Structure 1
Amino acid sequence: MQKKKLPLRDLITAKRLNEMRIAYNKPQMTRPEAYQKLAVVRDYIETLKLFKL
Protein backbone atom coordinates (compact mmCIF):
# COMPACT_ATOMS: atom_id res chain seq x y z
CA MET A 1 0.00 0.00 0.00
CA GLN A 2 1.44 3.33 -1.03
CA LYS A 3 1.12 6.29 1.29
CA LYS A 4 0.20 9.67 -0.15
CA LYS A 5 1.16 12.95 1.45
CA LEU A 6 -2.09 14.71 2.29
CA PRO A 7 -2.91 18.07 3.85
CA LEU A 8 -3.77 17.71 7.53
CA ARG A 9 -7.30 18.93 6.86
CA ASP A 10 -7.90 16.03 4.47
CA LEU A 11 -6.34 13.56 6.89
CA ILE A 12 -8.68 14.59 9.70
CA THR A 13 -11.92 14.24 7.72
CA ALA A 14 -14.21 11.36 8.57
CA LYS A 15 -14.28 10.34 4.91
CA ARG A 16 -10.52 9.88 4.87
CA LEU A 17 -10.60 7.88 8.11
CA ASN A 18 -13.24 5.64 6.61
CA GLU A 19 -11.09 5.09 3.50
CA MET A 20 -8.14 4.22 5.73
CA ARG A 21 -10.25 1.81 7.76
CA ILE A 22 -11.36 0.04 4.58
CA ALA A 23 -7.78 -0.10 3.28
CA TYR A 24 -6.51 -1.55 6.56
CA ASN A 25 -9.22 -4.23 6.51
CA LYS A 26 -7.94 -5.70 3.23
CA PRO A 27 -7.40 -9.47 3.45
CA GLN A 28 -3.59 -9.40 3.18
CA MET A 29 -3.39 -7.58 6.50
CA THR A 30 -4.04 -9.38 9.77
CA ARG A 31 -6.61 -7.95 12.15
CA PRO A 32 -4.13 -6.99 14.90
CA GLU A 33 -2.07 -5.06 12.35
CA ALA A 34 -5.16 -3.22 11.15
CA TYR A 35 -6.21 -2.29 14.68
CA GLN A 36 -2.67 -1.19 15.50
CA LYS A 37 -2.51 1.11 12.48
CA LEU A 38 -5.92 2.58 13.24
CA ALA A 39 -4.84 3.21 16.83
CA VAL A 40 -1.79 5.10 15.55
CA VAL A 41 -3.99 7.26 13.33
CA ARG A 42 -6.39 7.98 16.21
CA ASP A 43 -3.51 8.91 18.52
CA TYR A 44 -2.13 11.21 15.82
CA ILE A 45 -5.45 13.00 15.41
CA GLU A 46 -5.95 13.32 19.17
CA THR A 47 -2.48 14.88 19.34
CA LEU A 48 -3.39 17.35 16.59
CA LYS A 49 -6.56 18.33 18.46
CA LEU A 50 -4.54 18.75 21.63
CA PHE A 51 -2.15 21.19 19.96
CA LYS A 52 -4.97 22.74 17.85
CA LEU A 53 -3.06 22.27 14.59
Structure 2
Amino acid sequence: RFPDIRRGQQFYREIHWFAAQGITTGWPDGTYRALSTTNRDAMAAFIYRYIN
Protein backbone atom coordinates (compact mmCIF):
# COMPACT_ATOMS: atom_id res chain seq x y z
CA ARG A 1 0.00 0.00 0.00
CA PHE A 2 2.74 2.44 0.90
CA PRO A 3 5.74 2.22 -1.45
CA ASP A 4 8.06 3.70 1.18
CA ILE A 5 7.20 0.99 3.76
CA ARG A 6 8.74 -2.33 2.74
CA ARG A 7 8.21 -5.82 4.12
CA GLY A 8 10.76 -6.48 6.84
CA GLN A 9 10.96 -2.82 7.79
CA GLN A 10 10.41 -2.03 11.46
CA PHE A 11 6.67 -1.62 12.18
CA TYR A 12 5.67 -2.79 8.66
CA ARG A 13 2.82 -4.95 10.00
CA GLU A 14 1.61 -2.29 12.42
CA ILE A 15 1.56 0.44 9.77
CA HIS A 16 -0.34 -1.73 7.31
CA TRP A 17 -2.81 -2.79 10.03
CA PHE A 18 -3.31 0.89 10.89
CA ALA A 19 -4.16 1.58 7.23
CA ALA A 20 -6.37 -1.51 6.84
CA GLN A 21 -8.46 -0.33 9.80
CA GLY A 22 -8.92 3.09 8.19
CA ILE A 23 -7.03 4.81 10.98
CA THR A 24 -4.37 6.24 8.70
CA THR A 25 -4.52 7.15 5.04
CA GLY A 26 -0.95 8.23 4.40
CA TRP A 27 -0.08 11.23 2.25
CA PRO A 28 -1.79 12.27 -1.01
CA ASP A 29 1.17 10.92 -3.00
CA GLY A 30 0.59 7.43 -1.54
CA THR A 31 3.54 7.43 0.85
CA TYR A 32 3.45 6.93 4.61
CA ARG A 33 6.59 8.86 5.61
CA ALA A 34 7.16 6.87 8.77
CA LEU A 35 9.99 9.08 10.00
CA SER A 36 8.10 12.37 9.63
CA THR A 37 6.78 14.06 12.74
CA THR A 38 3.12 13.73 13.67
CA ASN A 39 1.24 16.90 14.55
CA ARG A 40 -1.49 17.07 17.15
CA ASP A 41 -4.24 17.47 14.54
CA ALA A 42 -3.17 14.25 12.82
CA MET A 43 -2.99 12.43 16.16
CA ALA A 44 -6.51 13.61 16.98
CA ALA A 45 -7.68 12.17 13.64
CA PHE A 46 -5.96 8.83 14.37
CA ILE A 47 -7.61 8.56 17.78
CA TYR A 48 -11.02 9.58 16.44
CA ARG A 49 -10.86 7.01 13.63
CA TYR A 50 -9.72 4.28 16.04
CA ILE A 51 -12.59 4.92 18.46
CA ASN A 52 -15.20 5.23 15.76
Which TM-score applies when normalising by structure 1? 0.34
More helix by share: 1
Larger Rg: 1
Quick one: higher RCO (CA 8 Å, sep 6+), 1 or 2?
A: 2
